[in-house]
Amino acid sequence: MRKQNKAVSAIAMIAVLLIMIYAAVKTTPESVHQSAWALLPPVIAIVLALVTKEVYSSLFIGILSGALLYSGFNFETTLLHIFQHTVESGGEETTYGIISVLSDSYNVGILVFLVILGIMVQLMNRTGGSAAFGTWASERIKTREGAQLSTIALGVLIFIDDYFNCLTVGSVMRPVTDKHNVSRAKLAYLIDATAAPICIIAPISSWAAAVSGFVEGQNGLSLFVRAIPFNYYALLTIVMMIMIVFMKADFGPMYLHEYNAVEKNDLFTTGDRPFSTEEDGKASENGKVADMLVPIISLVACCVVGMIYTGGFFSGESFVDSFANSDASVGLVLGSSVALLITVIYYLLRRVLPFGTMMECVPEGFKQMVSPILILTFAWSLKSMTDSLGAKEFVAGVVEGSAQGFLMFLPVIIFLIAVGLSFATGTSWGTFGILIPIVVSCFEATDPNMMIISISACMAGSVCGDHCSPISDTTIMSSAGAQCNHLNHVGTQLPYAMSCAVISAITYLIASGIARATNNLTIAACVSLPVGILIMFLFLCAMRGGSNGRRLRAERNAEAAEK
């Protein structure tokens, strides 16, 4: 198997080399800009990551290919472009590259938030709070289904921000799911599927604020709320999670991970086991459930206050407007910093840990987040390189061209293009910024109903691509929250996300047809969503039958091996 994997990896590398040689012969810097070539770097990175299982090198090769395309294969300037280069457009200068993304205040805020979360997780583990909560929850959550449903419920409750959701849900529920033999890949999927898909249908969230900000000349928040019933990918993802838990209908690579977790007590399946060597003996024996609940509750409360503070709530803005104007990066850093201070003071008053021991958790928490930070840095740099090549402008032109001749099918077209762009760039918000203004301009004066459905399709497709992409920040942080090998998470989640995407596309066809026939959004929503749910149920019934057959074969193979 290892020889086969090495051969596939070698073939993939040779293919990339041949593509780059072809590009060197056939392209110039001018012909690459705002063309399909602009999407080549993220495609190379994603394909290599999935084939070679090496995420760091794959991302860097993607960045390198982008720099080569941008410089016209001038090797003297390629290295400079990797780290920093400046593009002049419309009289303005924009800087791209690894140094630039690490100099961006928003990105730095997210990295600081990650580190603080890592420190708090270490503190909760060291005090024994995580273990105490796991024991307490295990006494009340008796089944694997209960553990998974509790994870989903907590993810739904933490709808303020997807970054915050990913790490908090993982920290709280990991001890519970481990005790009930839920694989780390399954936990990562549940975390990821209740992050962006929940935020994109929550009116009070950083995502609602982002979407509202991209709508000009309209009440952005009102459009967001009206689009929720048509956000089929997000809604069907929630339905899919619940159905999979109750029906035990895991399929694809996830089935193997779940089978190993249940039958072999192996939560990881593969040899790479992140964080599995943590020393449990360092944990205090005096830990209580409150030692975990106080930090988590403080974190939730302080982050909400931090976000509305940055939006001007204490300067007279309303709660909703302050969320719409909030700076998620600054708000999360402010909130998590105060929560960390509260946690340290609480532990000192409880005398559960000496101050020196708590300070040891600072570098330990940082080390725990090194891998996600490195992946995020490379992913941001790859997105930056793609932007400098004009990928956004190319996709915008494709969408505008499609809108002229396929008005009836525009919601599906928008959905599929948003999936592709978000998958390639690893960002939902960037996709919103490109597509939503185009949708509004196409339908604002001619067909308001189709505008609502198309905006929903844009949001749903963006979340779907973000959900699938191995270079998405939420996907990376879901792996970190579950302490799961990143590529294991991507490989097991992809069949689920793509299945939901296909059903969502079918549902958009139904909704757009009904809306144009009846000119009534209420009828379109009431008919199309139940049909989508029914299709999802029938699909999972088929997958469940296949899973039962695989289980029987696995059991027979195990019995034969024992004999």
Chain segment 105-123, per-residue pLDDT in tens: 878 887 888 788 788 878 8
Q: Tell me how far apart the alpha carbons of residues 309 and 314 are, in angstroms, rounded to a whole number.
A: 6
Query: How many whole angstroms separate alpha carbon 122 and alpha carbon 288?
Result: 15
DSSP 248: T
Q: Do 161 and 328 meet the contact criterion of CB atoms below 8 Å apart?
A: yes
Express as a percent the part of the chain with pLDDT over 70: 79
Total domains, the chain: 2
Tokens for 138?
């295990």
Residue 80 sits in the same domain as residue 127: no
Distance CA 126, CA 110 (A): 24
**Is residue 322 situated within a structural domain?**
yes
Same domain (yes/no): 92, 124? no
| 304 inside domain | yes
Please state, in angstroms and as integers, the Cα–Cα distance from residue 285 to each residue in 138, 208, 265, 353, 364, following that order.
Answer: 18, 43, 25, 11, 20
Helix/strand/coil for 42: helix
Q: Do 164 and 309 sit in the same domain of this protein?
A: yes
Could you give the CA distance from residue 397 to residue 404 in angstroms, rounded to a whole number?
Answer: 11
Looking at the fold, whether 207 and 326 belong to one and the same domain comes out as: yes
**474 CB contacts (<8 Å, ≥6 apart)?**
162, 163, 166, 192, 195, 196, 466, 467
- Rounded CA-CA distance 12/91 in Å is 41
Cβ atoms of residues 417 and 395 within 8 Å: yes
Q: What pLDDT does residue 278 have?
A: 47
User: Are 168 and 140 contained in the same domain?
Assistant: yes
Last residue of a domain, one of 372, 391, 417: 372
The residue segments making up the domain with residue 38 are: 1-96
DSSP 322-340: HHHT--HHHHHHHHHHHHH
Q: For 172-189, what is the HEC assignment? A: HHHHHHHHCCCCHHHHHH
Q: What is the pLDDT of residue 243?
A: 95
Same domain, 209 and 308: yes
Closest CA to 205 of 307, 316, 309, 336: 307
Q: Are 159 and 165 in contact (CB under 8 A)?
A: yes
Give the domain-ending residue among 357, 372, 387.
372
Q: Are residues 191 and 311 in the same domain?
A: yes
Tokens (6 digits) for 55: 């995420």
Does one domain contain both 290 and 177?
yes
Contact 376, 109 (CB under 8 A): no
Determine contact, residues 388/381, Cβ cutoff 8 Å.
Answer: no
What was the pLDDT predicted at 186? 96
Distance CA 314, CA 500 (A): 41
d(C-alpha 284, C-alpha 360), whole Å: 14
Length of the chain: 563
Q: Are 36 and 390 in contact (CB under 8 A)?
A: no
Same domain, 188 and 142: yes
Asked whether residue 328 is assigned to any structural domain, the reply reads: yes
- Dihedral sign, Cα of residue 61, residue 67, residue 68, residue 73: negative
Residue 313 lies in a domain: yes
Longest dimension (CA), the chain: 76
Q: Is residue 359 part of a domain?
A: yes
Place of tokens 């958009």: 508
What number of other Cβ atoms are within 10 A of residue 401's Cβ? Answer: 10
Q: Do 202 and 299 fall within a single domain? A: yes
Phi first, then psi: give them for residue 92, nearest 5 degrees.
-115, 150
The pLDDT assigned to 336 comes to 87
The parts of the chain modelled with pLDDT lower than 50 are 1, 277-281, 560-563
Q: Is residue 264 part of a domain?
A: no
Q: Is 267 among the domain residues?
A: no
Q: Which of 96, 128, 156 is the last residue of a domain?
A: 96
In a domain, 268, yes or no: no
Classify each residue of 160-184 as buried b or exposed e, where b means 16 or more C-beta atoms within 10 Å of its C-beta. bbbbbbbbbbbbbbbbbbbebbbbb
57 Cβ neighbours under 8 A, 6+ residues apart: 48
Same structural domain, 87 and 110: no
Amino acid 29 reads P
Amino acid occupying residue 430: G
- Spatial separation of the C-alpha atoms in residues 272 and 7, rounded to whole Å: 20
Q: Is 398 exposed, middle or buried (0-12, 13-18, 19+ CB in 10 A)?
A: middle
* CA distances in angstroms from 206 to 192, 335, 476, 523, listed in the order given: 16, 14, 19, 30
DSSP state of 93: E
In this structure, are 195 and 313 located in the same domain?
yes
